[in-house]
Amino acid sequence: MAHTKSQGKTNQKSNRPGQRRGVKKFGDQKVSVGQIIVRQVGSTFHAGIGTKTGKDFTIYAVKPGIVKFFTKMGRKFISVIKG
């Protein structure tokens, strides 16, 4: 009979890097077309005018301008305004 427990699962964990989520461009910052504004899990922020949402909920700019954050009916929105 073994005197030590098997080390199966604890030794198999690999140390993975973080996914670098969060806000990349803040309010009143300039963005160009295609720049990522927010990387997120789920729709914490919603796409407004001048932005679109990717399949992994990434919000990116579809036109150049200045980033604006605002709240409407309890939801947080991000839009890109000409500037």
**Residue 34: band (very low, low, confident or very high) from pLDDT cuts 50, 70, 90:** very high
Give the three-state DSSP class for 11.
helix
Domain boundaries, the chain: 21-81
Supply the CATH classification number for the domain 21-81. Answer: 2.40.50.100
**Residue 13: band (very low, low, confident or very high) from pLDDT cuts 50, 70, 90:** confident
What counts of helices (H) and strands (E) characterise the chain? 1, 8
**Residue 5: band (very low, low, confident or very high) from pLDDT cuts 50, 70, 90:** low
Residue 12, pLDDT above cutoff 70: no
Distance between CA atoms of residues 2 and 44, nearest Å: 50
